[in-house]
Every structure is written in structure tokens, then in C-alpha cells.
Amino acid sequence: MSSEDEKGRTLFEILTGRNQRDMTPLELQYHNPLEAKVGCTVSFENEPDIAGINFVIEKISVYETQIGPKKFYHTDYHLKGISLDVDNYILMRLRLIPDERLISDLGCRVQLLHPYYQMEWDESFYNEVLGCSSGEFWVNHDDDGNELEEPWKYWRIEEVLTPYQSRLTLLHDADGDGTIEDDELEHSQVHYWDYSRPTNDKNEQEITEFLTIEMDDETQWFTFLRGTDIEPSQIVIF
């Protein structure tokens, strides 16, 4: 009999239901709005650039952010896909952010993000760019390194100038046995800065593009993620 304290269960505990280990998969014990597990496949039928590509959930990141007395959560599903049109793996993040203003069963905003850049610690970038008193962030080059005629200008969301600090739990099947164990969980602290800008999609429809810059507190590496909201109905999980 599995026990919570890993010392076995007495007859009394078995009869009363005490000291019983929770056998629910670890992915479902954390904030997981999609109730998806590592190894599940995800596709996006209505996203033209990636339609027809099946992505595998490699990892799940759960962010716990405390603001005042309240704790807020959002969850990233790390996706890895293969396409014959590109040489490398296609890496995406599917981010779900609870939003009580939404009237839906999911109750979350859904963002599809592209992790497009990483950089090591840079003090001037941290102080002068991320710490800019105007809350602006300018991107001067496109993803291929070409200089833009007009910079992409982002602003901190809701004019919050300070970074958010989160406790991050990473769920990853490190040994590849199909099950995530307690000793495979990774915990860390991160700071992140969220930005957005109005822009147009390929159909010239106005949309909001989001930019998140995340810093691992231990390594002080920065990760840049950019993307837009998508409709939950576009997501197929199997």
C-alpha cells in the first residue's frame, strides 16, 4: 500500500483512509488548466504558419506570483514540433493565464509564444533598458538581424514598471519513463517583465503582440518570448 510518509500504512490507517499517498499524476497536482500531461500532442488547426504540425509537450512550467496577500498562477506548456520546411525543431510556448473576466469553461487567456532569443547577464540592459522609467522597450532588428526601418515599440502592461517575481516549478520527465517523479521536479525563482504593442496581423487586422523577458535568478540568463492571444478553440490535444 502506498503511503504518504513512505513508511507503509497500518491497518488502522488503511481502514480510515489515512496516510494514503496521492497517486494523481504530478502534472495534475499543479496549476494545469488544460489537464495535459508531458508527452501529449498539441496541434493548432487555425494557425496558418504551423497548421499540420503536431507538437509534443516536453515540459510544463508553473509560475506562482505573489502580489500583496494574493497568489497568482500561470502555466506554460513547452512545445516541440517538426516540419519538413525547416531544419531545426520548432519550439513554442503555450501560455494559459487565468482571467476571471472571461466567461468560458477554461477561464483563461491563451497565448502562443515564440522563445526567440536568449542572452547572458548584462548590467546596463538590466538597469537602463528593463529599468527604463518610461516603461518602453524598443526592438531595432528583426529576427534575422536586419535593422528595422521603424523600431517595434513595446510598453509595460498596465504601466507596471517593476518586474514580477515568481516561484517556478518545472515538470519534466527527465528519465523518459513516461512518469514524472518528485525528484524530477525543478524549482527556481525568476523575475519577468511583460510588455505589449498594438500591431497588425497578415490580414491587416489590429492585434496586440506580447513580449515577455524572463530572467532566471540563479543563472541571470534572459529569455525573450513574443506572441499573441489565440482562441482556446484552436487548440487540439491528444
pLDDT of residue 7: 57
Pick from 93, 34, 89: nearest CA to 61:
93
Reading the block at residue 230, the C-alpha cell is: 489565440
Whether residue 12 is contained in a domain is answered as: no
What domain range is 224 assigned to? 19-237
Domain count, the chain: 1
Which residue ranges in the chain fall short of pLDDT 50?
1, 3, 5, 11, 13-15, 19
Whether residue 89 is contained in a domain is answered as: yes
Contact between 41 and 56 under an 8 Å Cβ cutoff? The reply is yes
Whether residue 227 is contained in a domain is answered as: yes
pLDDT of residue 13: 47
Reading the block at residue 16, the C-alpha cell is: 480510515
Pick from 54, 52, 57, 46: nearest CA to 81:
54
Whether residue 119 is contained in a domain is answered as: yes
Indicate the pTM of the whole model. Answer: 0.88
Whether residue 1 is contained in a domain is answered as: no
pLDDT of residue 19: 47
Whether residue 167 is contained in a domain is answered as: yes
pLDDT per residue as tens digits for the range 51-101: 889 999 999 999 999 999 999 999 999 999 998 778 889 999 999 999 988
Whether residue 47 is contained in a domain is answered as: yes
Largest CA distance in the chain: 75
Reading the block at residue 80, the C-alpha cell is: 516541440
Whether residue 106 is contained in a domain is answered as: yes
pLDDT of residue 236: 92
